[in-house]
């Protein structure tokens, strides 16, 4: 069982005193940590007396907060085990059970219309494969060849034996991490970053080395170079094109320098390219590995639909062979029918991408306009690609705002969910991939939540260390 100490929990609770009844505000912040996954289910919270001493409040306040969480189903108290975090059977984030909620915690697109005919064709193609066992750790040859051809067409010569088909990008990242790293190795990662990639590296036992990225300036180039030079991480996870959540992309010069440094210091770089072809301004970028040695991860989750769980890894043949041997510890292959669906869609994938980019450009302009009109005090960058914008709220109240938004029917992840160390309370990731009606409804909910947060005094923006690196 995991245990979070009072000392470790306190920094995650920053800002909980901002308005409202003390015990209820504390309970609300702990609830958000559970919903965002920053404190995972099954974690034992510190004893009431210890947390009260750390927060410098009365034990009665903590006792009342824990009682409220127990009543709402977020804590389970067991004699001898303390208070254990759990998620209720139904929580607001389960929008299918709570149809009144709009979920902006997921940066996703609606399914493309072509999925149904691609699936129907896949069913017709299926009998050809029924004589085989169906357990295939590398992927069907036709799909691997199609993916290799696509990399070649994008400027990176690739053969089918350099491709492994996975169960989505998250599965691919986890497999690479546990194949390449040993527990205790250092792993480089951007800050902010894709939260589940960070989860995968931590699960593989990595010691995290964060490097700053901002929506205005991109990567901290000096910090990135120094992190590689000083720590020689065994693995580095980057999203160099249309970074999630900021939407920025690396320059070609920086890509080449980073790849050169990584090669000299023995660092294997993973480039998450799930959104690499969703650039909204300018010409499409070459694959990251066209500039040097790197493992590429891709999927159709952000372009076709999240319900088609197919991704892939592009790497040297020897690396692919290592991952084939390691894969059986976690799964025995990617579902065949879904591989056939993706194979059928790849035949006209440029048309799919053109349609997606046009849709996202409209969504980006719509979101920027609505935020300017209804929340003019926020700083809204112009995302160069991807599905989200990384908004600066001007005050360290992101968690408080996320809680208030839930009361307005909107599920949205607080900024610290994307941070390595609990920073980014001044930031909020907002997707522009939803429909016009949903986007307007979401911004309206944010405006009401912001007004609610504003009823309580907010501290003046401080130029502290956390804000200076984001």
Q: CA-CA distance, 172 to 92, in Å (whole number)? A: 29
The answer on pLDDT for 466 being more than 60 is: no
The C-alpha atoms of residue 376 and residue 140 are separated, in whole angstroms, by 51
- The yes-or-no answer to whether 6-85 and 115-347 have a common fold is no
Cα separation of 273 and 44, whole Å? 36
- Is 90 exceeded by the pLDDT of residue 39? no
Q: Which residue has the tokens 């319900």?
A: 307
Q: In the CATH hierarchy, which top-level class contains the domain 102-108+351-468?
A: alpha beta
Is the model's pLDDT at 292 over the cut of 70?
Answer: yes
At 258, list the tokens. 């980073």
Alpha-carbon span 373 to 164, nearest angstrom: 47
More confident residue, 69 or 20: 69
Mean pLDDT of 209-236: 96
**Can you tell me the distance from the alpha carbon of 412 to that of 438, in angstroms, rounded to the nearest whole number?**
13
- pTM score: 0.84
**Segment (H or E) for 422:** none
Note whether 69 and 33 are within 8 A (CB).
Answer: no
382: part of which helix (H) or strand (E)?
Answer: none
pLDDT at 340: 98
At residue 98, the pLDDT reads 55
Q: Residue 469 above 90 pLDDT?
A: no
* Residues contacting residue 376 through CB under 8 Å, at least 6 positions apart: none
Q: Give the number of other Cβ atoms within 10 Å of residue 12's Cβ.
A: 19
From the candidate CATH numbers 1.10.10.10, 1.10.240.10, 1.20.120.1770, 3.40.50.2000, the one assigned to the domain spanning 6-85: 1.10.10.10
CATH for 115-347, among 3.30.70.270, 3.40.640.10, 3.40.50.10900, 3.40.50.300?
A: 3.40.640.10
What is the domain partition of the chain in residue ranges?
A: 6-85, 102-108+351-468, 115-347
Find the mean pLDDT for residues 433-447.
Answer: 98
* Cis preceding-peptide flag for 192 (omega within 30 of 0): yes
Residue-level pLDDT at 2: 78
Q: Helix 336-346 crosses helix 115-125 at what angle (to 10 degrees)?
A: 120
Which pLDDT score is estimated for 248?
A: 98
> Could you tell me the two tokens for 461?
């923006």
Q: Which pLDDT band, with edges at 50, 70 and 90, does 82 fall under?
A: confident
Q: Return the pLDDT at 459.
A: 42
Strands 163-166 and 295-299: unpaired
Kind of pairing, strands 388-392 and 295-299? unpaired
Is pLDDT above 70 for 464? no
């Amino acid at each position: 069982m995991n245990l979070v100490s009072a000392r470790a929990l306190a920094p995650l609770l920053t800002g909980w005193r901002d308005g409202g009844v003390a015990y209820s505000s504390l309970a609300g912040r702990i609830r958000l940590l559970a919903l965002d996954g920053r404190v995972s289910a099954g974690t034992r919270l510190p004893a009431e007396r210890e947390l009260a001493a750390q927060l410098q409040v009365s034990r009665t306040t903590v006792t009342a907060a824990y009682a409220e969480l127990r009543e709402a189903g977020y804590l389970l108290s067991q004699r001898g085990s303390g208070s254990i975090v759990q998620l209720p059977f139904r929580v607001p984030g389960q929008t299918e059970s709570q149809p009144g909620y709009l979920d902006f915690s997921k940066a996703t697109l609606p399914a493309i219309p072509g999925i149904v005919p691609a699936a129907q064709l896949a069913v017709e193609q299926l009998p050809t494969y029924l004589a085989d066992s169906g357990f295939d750790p590398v992927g069907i040859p036709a799909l691997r060849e199609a993916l290799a051809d696509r990399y070649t067409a994008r400027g990176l010569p690739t053969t089918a034996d350099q491709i492994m088909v996975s169960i989505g990008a998250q599965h691919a990242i986890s497999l690479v991490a546990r194949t390449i790293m040993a527990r205790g190795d250092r792993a480089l990662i951007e800050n902010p970053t894709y939260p589940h990639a960070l989860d995968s590296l931590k699960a593989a036992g990595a010691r995290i080395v964060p490097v700053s990225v901002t929506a205005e300036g991109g990567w901290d180039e000096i910090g990135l170079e120094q992190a590689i030079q000083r720590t020689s991480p065994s693995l580095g996870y980057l999203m160099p094109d249309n970074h999630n959540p900021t939407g920025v992309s690396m320059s070609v010069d920086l890509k080449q320098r980073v790849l050169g440094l990584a090669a000299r210091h023995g660092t294997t770089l993973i480039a998450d390219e799930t959104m690499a072809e969703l650039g909204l301004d300018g010409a499409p970028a070459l694959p990251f590995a066209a500039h040097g040695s790197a493992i590429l991860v891709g999927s159709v989750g952000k372009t076709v639909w999240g319900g088609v769980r197919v991704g892939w890894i592009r790497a040297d043949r020897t690396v692919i062979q290592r991952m084939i041997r390691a894969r059986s510890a976690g799964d025995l292959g990617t579902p065949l029918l879904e591989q056939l669906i993706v194979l059928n869609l790849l035949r006209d994938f440029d048309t799919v991408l053109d349609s997606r980019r046009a849709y996202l450009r409209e969504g980006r302009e719509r979101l920027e306009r609505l935020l300017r009109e209804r929340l003019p005090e926020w700083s809204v960058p112009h995302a160069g690609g991807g599905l989200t914008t990384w908004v600066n709220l001007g005050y360290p109240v992101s968690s408080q705002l996320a809680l208030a938004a839930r009361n307005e029917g909107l599920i949205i992840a607080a900024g610290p969910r994307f941070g390595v160390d609990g920073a980014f309370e001044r930031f909020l990731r907002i997707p522009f991939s939803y429909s016009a009606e949903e986007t307007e409804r979401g911004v309206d909910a944010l405006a009401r939540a912001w007004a609610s947060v504003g009823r309580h005094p907010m501290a003046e923006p401080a130029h502290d260390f956390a804000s200076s690196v984001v």
